[in-house]
Structure 1
Amino acid sequence: MHSGYTFRTRAILRAQLAKGWDVRGLTGRRHVAAGPQEELVDGLHFHRTPGEAAGGNALLREWRDISAHADAIESLVRQWRPDIIHAHSPVLNAMAAQRVARRHGIPLIYEIRAFWEDAAVGNGTGTEGSPRYWLTRQLETHAVRAADAVAVICEGLRSDLVARGIDSAKITVSPNGVDLDQFGAPVPRDPALTAKLGLEGADVVGFIGSFYDYEGLDDLIAAMPRLVRARPRAKLLLVGGGPMEQALRDQALASPFTDHIVFVGRVPHDQVEHYYAQVDVLAYPRKAMRLTDLVTPLKPLEAMAQGRLVAASSVGGHRELIEDGVTGTLFAPDDPAAIAQALAGMFADRGFWDERRIVARDFVERERNWSSNILRYEPVYQRLLGRDSTAKAA
């Protein structure tokens, strides 16, 4: 299954294995891909929680999923005897892991990649300020207080926890990064794919990722008429899928410049780099909301690693990753005119492109490379164990 969460998890596990640590992954019932109960994937050892996600009342369903996940963690702990349990978002995982960690006296680190209540708002399945939002927020805060250590992916999440009264000394920032061994060697543009996509001679703007409402792809499509009038050869390449896909396709069909918008659909992960190679500027027009202000995305870093230019909305999560005019271009969120103006300006002046690509790539290698980012966990593990880091982690 492909998402920012799965790619981050894979990168963490690969980096830990490279250090000689013994690591297992355990998925919950919300992981719906078919397969055996125990499996090796990409050289990584995974276990599954048996059964499918429960039906019925939402609260009852989630409680049953927590119980099933806790039972699976318990089984693996008894079989394998890990030194540390490392759980990540959503909070349901932390709640299941805490039951087992407390019972066996195993240190627990809880890694927050987004607050579940805000993710629900961003995905359109929740409403900010609702009773469910409030309850989820309380569960998140309780899970943080109960964990032995907490990791977050950015300063926005850390600051929010500190504002809730969490001791900052308990929190480690382990930012999103790129596995440069797998994603750090850009491939040349494939002329056959260029022709197939109808991008020959085009100024190509692209988005490669999941089509959620908070990504702002409707604003990007709405920007295309202004962009094409300024840059007649401009085309938009959209690679991926998700909840907003049909609405975005309908919007593109209604656009006066529908022939300048190309939908590819989902592609195998091992083919993604070939689509990056087709794009001049990767655009990330995230909408302004709590989720995007607090959470840093992974995709802009992948684009920088691939030697692509990046343009993004100036929400908090992007500002933490991108220095305007240095590693990327920032524009006002929720504003198609601002998107078009920023992109047209980038295509009108190609003189800075090579230098910016080099600077952005250097930034990823220096500060957002998983081989070095993983070192941020090592002192946390050492502190929790009270000894060296030759540990087993689940």
Structure 2
Amino acid sequence: MSRLILFVTEQVKPGGKLSHVEALSAGLEHHGWTTERLDWNALSFVEKALVAGPMRLLDSMQRGLGQRWSLPALNQRFAAHLRIRLSRRGVTDIVHVQEPLTFRAAAGAARGIPIALTVHGPVHREVASAWNLALDHPVVRWLREIERRAYLEAAAVIAVDQAHLEYVREFGREHDVWSIPNFVDTRRFHPAVSPERFPDEVEQWIAGRPVVLCPRRLVPKNGVAVAIRAGAEIASRGLPVAVVIVGDGPQRSELEQLAAEPLHAPHSRLIGEAGLERMPGWIRRSDVVVVPSVPSKGVEEATSISAIEAQACGRPVVASAIGGLREIIRDGETGLLVPAGSAPALAEAVLRALREPGLATRLETAAALEVTSLRSHEAGAARYVEVYETLRDRESR
């Protein structure tokens, strides 16, 4: 039996990276690999306080400054935990890091073990976008250098779409680079899932209207403001809908203010985060799922897990025609693509899906079949196994 540690870093909240890791774990176990995860929850209360406390203080003094403290501190803690786990276990074939910012911990602790690194996004650009920092800000430049070193030193780099593969190559990495699109656990996300009601107060607000679900983290690149504006646009064209936004993030206050404006309040509502266990039922409860991503400081959507989850559940997806979304959605066949940032275009496509049941059924059926064959946890993990075995065979020579 092979052994693999999935090294996830601090992300333990619902979101694309956590969904990816759980789907990958399920797929690897299907293929005979055992998995183990090291993340923020592995740290003690004191360790978390030593990482997060100074970070918050420094960020209150200057936005982004806390990263200078938290990343080295987090890497130090993770490296210590990883050394302990490796010393207590038998053979560990691969250590798989899920983002470049904690690659240093694995590199220091897992000597002699191949380290694979998955690239979910351009980290320094994502931080710049989320914190509204210039790309030449000292903290952003520092993060870019951390990325560069991780991409060049990892035994293998796996990008979640072709655009991110090219991004990695911009740093000079040419060998052992793979593009493996995201995938989902099709045991949990499938068309036979029973619809699950939203909380009672949300259902009362929906009041029988068609539901447009926007399951997105509240950051600029996810374009949630476009979905809010599209809700009012759809209503102005004669079909009131309920745009339900599931997610949290640094834009929450700003987006709540937008959704509370008289033009938008009747049509859009933010309901916060949902656990992974609730999302399949909420997707099935919805009529259309939107992924209205927009470019932000050089960041574009990857092969969106939210979109794939909706496709797997047999719901029509309307998404922006950018980034990895164009790799997983064929316009008019497995979903509808619209220009990024255009609320009128998003509204028009949602109206098509709602008013043309034949179209919606064709999109749902084709997308669900494609996910089952190409983007299931079993199919996706099989491609990762090819990478792992390449590294393991090379190490054994």
Range class of TM-score, shorter chain:
0.7 to 0.9
Distance 1:193 1:351 in 2: 30
Write out aligned runs for 1:81-96 (5 A). Answer: 81-96=90-105
Q: What CA RMSD, in Å, does the superposition of the two structures yield over aligned residues?
A: 2.7
Query: How far does the alpha carbon of each residue in 1:71-96 deviate from its partner, in whole angstroms, 9 at most, with x for none?
Result: 11111111114433433343232111
Aligned residues: 371
Distance 1:272 1:94 in 2: 30
Write out aligned runs for 1:107-118 (5 A). Answer: 107-118=114-125
Shift of 1:193: 6.8
Q: Look up the match of 2:83.
A: 74
Counterpart residue type for residue 280 of structure 1: D
- Alignment partner for residue 187 of structure 1, among 187, 190, 193? 193
Structure 2 unaligned blocks of 5 or more: 1-12, 59-65
Counterpart residue type for residue 98 of structure 1: A
The farther-off stretch of 12-21 and 149-158 is: 12-21
Shift of 1:106: 1.3
Counterpart residue type for residue 29 of structure 2: L
The farther-off stretch of 65-74 and 242-251 is: 242-251
Shift of 1:200: 4.8
Q: TM-score scaled to structure 1, two decimals?
A: 0.85
Distance 2:153 2:212 in 1: 45
* 1:116–1:136 CA contact under 8 A, matched in 2: yes
Counterpart check, 1:98 vs 2:129: no
Distance 2:159 2:143 in 1: 17
- Alignment partner for residue 134 of structure 2, among 127, 137, 150? 127
Evaluate the alpha carbon distance shift between residue 267 and residue 60 of structure 1 in structure 2; reply closer, same or farther with a 3 A threshold.
closer
* 1:292–1:315 CA contact under 8 A, matched in 2: no
What SS does the aligned partner of 2:309 have? helix
The percent of aligned pairs where both chains have the same amino acid is 22
Q: Look up the match of 1:42.
A: none
Evaluate the alpha carbon distance shift between residue 189 and residue 109 of structure 1 in structure 2; reply closer, same or farther with a 3 A threshold.
closer
What SS does the aligned partner of 1:323 have? coil
Counterpart residue type for residue 243 of structure 1: P
* 1:87–1:94 CA contact under 8 A, matched in 2: no
Shift of 1:257: 4.5
Evaluate the alpha carbon distance shift between residue 271 and residue 83 of structure 1 in structure 2; reply closer, same or farther with a 3 A threshold.
closer
Counterpart residue type for residue 308 of structure 1: R
Query: How far does the alpha carbon of each residue in 1:257-284 deviate from its partner, in whole angstroms, 9 at most, with x for none?
Result: 4222233333333222232122111111
Q: TM-score scaled to structure 2, two decimals?
A: 0.85
* 1:292–1:317 CA contact under 8 A, matched in 2: no
Stretches of 4+ aligned residues off by more than 6 angstroms: 191-195
Distance 1:342 1:292 in 2: 24
What SS does the aligned partner of 1:210 have? coil
Distance 1:192 1:212 in 2: 23
Distance 1:125 1:99 in 2: 32
Q: Look up the match of 1:173.
A: 179
Distance 2:26 2:225 in 1: 36
Structure 1 unaligned blocks of 5 or more: 38-47, 390-394
Counterpart residue type for residue 12 of structure 1: L
Q: Look up the match of 1:161.
A: 168
* 2:114–2:392 CA contact under 8 A, matched in 1: yes
Distance 1:277 1:197 in 2: 18
Q: Look up the match of 1:221.
A: 228
What SS does the aligned partner of 1:137 have? helix
